[in-house]
Structure 1
Amino acid sequence: MQIQRKTLAEEVAERLLEGILNDEYIIGEKLPIEPELMKIYGVGRSSIREAIKILLIKGILSVQQGVGTFVVSKNAQESLETQMDKAKLEDVLEVRSILDAKIAGKAAAHRTEEDLKTIKMFLDLRNKLADDRKALECYEADVNFHVSIAKACGNSLLKEIFIIASKHILSSFEHRHDNDTQPFKISQKIHTDLYLAIENKDSEKAEFIAQQIVDRIY
């Protein structure tokens, strides 16, 4: 499933953390510079930077401006994903619903042509699967439609929170769906309207439509 794949940055973060736990990188020691890390892990600069950001959030690394990135702990703080694992589904749904409108508005402002292709692909797939009465697959396409909007929003933190929340919501749906695709057919038009607002870079309209989807006004 697309939203569950690990990114290169996540894989690098895991390998970096393994190195820290195995004392390849000692607490208080500065990490190698970016070009060296790129050679060690065989990835580009953006993946290295994103991996470091992941470990910064977990409290494993600390950046000193103009000096470098240092190992400060072996004990990761409880991740957002772990916290969502423990949270009630209603709370996770609330988090996602609060973010939907803001993300849609930002996506309208920042989307690229490539983003639009991905969003449209999942919009069309959602429609086809609804017609084919494949509820679980249709819900996956619906989640990926909204995730692709989050990926276009230009804010990596909003994107990550939204993806984590969506993954947990999808997991719950897998255990309770009843093969009814009628709600997806009914809401296809408003999802198309959301896509068009993003395509037209109309942030205000995108926010309004996204909130209507959250409130199920369609």
Structure 2
Amino acid sequence: MTGRKPVSQLIKRSLVEQAVDQLRTRIAQGAWSIGQRLPTEPELATDLGISRNTVREAMRVLAFSGLVEIRQGDGSYLRTAQDPLQAVQAMAQCTLEHARETRHILEAEAIGLAAQRCTPDDLKALRQALQQSGEHFHADVDAYVACDIKFHQRLVDAAHNPALSELYRYFSGVVAAALQHNMTTVPRCQSVFDLHGQILDALEQRDPELAKRLSRALIES
């Protein structure tokens, strides 16, 4: 019997999923505008014919997927009418070549902006992230991939463009999968890892063209 969930938990999970589906449908149909405060939990519970606890859990799912923002003490607000989950699912199906093309467009250009806009705090955080990556490059693949994704997210964040940061945050799962594939099929090369440090040097030199060129070399490596 181990590993089986009680029937009550399965029913509860099903109710939450149904509530999430209903709320997603209403959002897609334009029931609320972007930035609008959503009805309260009691109001939604009455409207959907479910318990407040089920509404609360459904809202957490929507918040996790990026559709809704929950503000403590203030309520829940609609962040976007475009379900990020669909975008994430589409990205998960893209080929390695498509992933590489997207990185050239998104990541390399963002790093070029970072070379112009990064702050001393950005550079310090990047140095720390790069050091952590270096400690795992010749060791555990999973640990290195996690550190490397963190470093690349910080690079994009240094462009100080929230839209680019959010896009890359969703896309980073594709980057991680491609990196995992490369590191398990191609021998690790120190010169490839060293490109990360050279990109960081280019940021410190405020040289966007060099930063982009190095970024593209890294993507192609």
TM-score of the aligned structures, taking structure 2 as reference length: 0.60
Pairing 1:18-29 to 2, within 5 Å after superposition: 21=23, 27=31
Pairing 1:172-191 to 2, within 5 Å after superposition: 174=180, 177-178=183-184, 182-183=188-189, 185-191=190-196
Answer yes or no: is the 8 Å Cα contact 1:135–1:179 preserved in 2.
no
Asked which structure has the greater RCO (Cα within 8 Å, sep 6+), the reply is 1
> Following superposition, which runs of at least 4 residues in structure 1 exceed 6 angstroms of deviation?
none
Relative to structure 1, the CA distance from residue 27 to residue 84 in structure 2 (aligned partners, 3 Å threshold; closer, same or farther) is same
Q: How far, CA to CA, are the matches of 2:127 and 2:32 in structure 1?
A: 48
Q: Which amino acid aligns with 1:117?
A: K
Give the superposition deviation at 1:176: 7.7
Which structure 2 segments of 5+ residues have no match? Answer: 1-18, 39-69
Render the CA deviation track for 1:171-211: whole Å, top value 9, x for unaligned: 4655785397732x222322111101112322122112112
Q: How far, CA to CA, are the matches of 2:198 and 2:126 in structure 1?
A: 12
Match of residue 105 from structure 1: 112
Give the superposition deviation at 1:52: 4.3
Answer yes or no: is the 8 Å Cα contact 1:100–1:214 preserved in 2.
no
Give the SS at the match of 2:206. Answer: coil
Q: Which amino acid aligns with 1:153?
A: A
Relative to structure 1, the CA distance from residue 139 to residue 181 in structure 2 (aligned partners, 3 Å threshold; closer, same or farther) is farther
Give the superposition deviation at 1:124: 0.9
Render the CA deviation track for 1:15-74: whole Å, top value 9, x for unaligned: xx96x829xx992689349xxxxxx72289xxx8xx644x14x1xxxxxxxxxxxxxxxx
Match of residue 121 from structure 2: 114
- The alignment status of 1:41 with 2:41, answered yes or no, reads no
Answer yes or no: is the 8 Å Cα contact 2:32–2:78 preserved in 1.
no
Give the SS at the match of 1:182. Answer: coil
Which structure 1 segments of 5+ residues have no match? Answer: 1-16, 34-39, 59-75
Answer yes or no: is the 8 Å Cα contact 1:109–1:202 preserved in 2.
yes
Identity of aligned residues (%): 20
Candidates 185, 200, 205, aligned match of 2:210: 205
Relative to structure 1, the CA distance from residue 43 to residue 82 in structure 2 (aligned partners, 3 Å threshold; closer, same or farther) is farther
Match of residue 135 from structure 1: 141
Q: How far, CA to CA, are the matches of 2:153 and 2:87 in structure 1?
A: 17
Render the CA deviation track for 1:64-85: whole Å, top value 9, x for unaligned: xxxxxxxxxxxx4873212212
- The alignment status of 1:85 with 2:89, answered yes or no, reads no
TM-score of the aligned structures, taking structure 1 as reference length: 0.61
- The alignment status of 1:152 with 2:152, answered yes or no, reads no
Pairing 1:34-73 to 2, within 5 Å after superposition: 41-42=71-72, 52-53=78-79, 55-56=80-81, 58=82
Render the CA deviation track for 1:72-99: whole Å, top value 9, x for unaligned: xxxx487321221233343223212332
Q: How far, CA to CA, are the matches of 2:167 and 2:177 in structure 1?
A: 16
Q: Which amino acid aligns with 1:188?
A: F
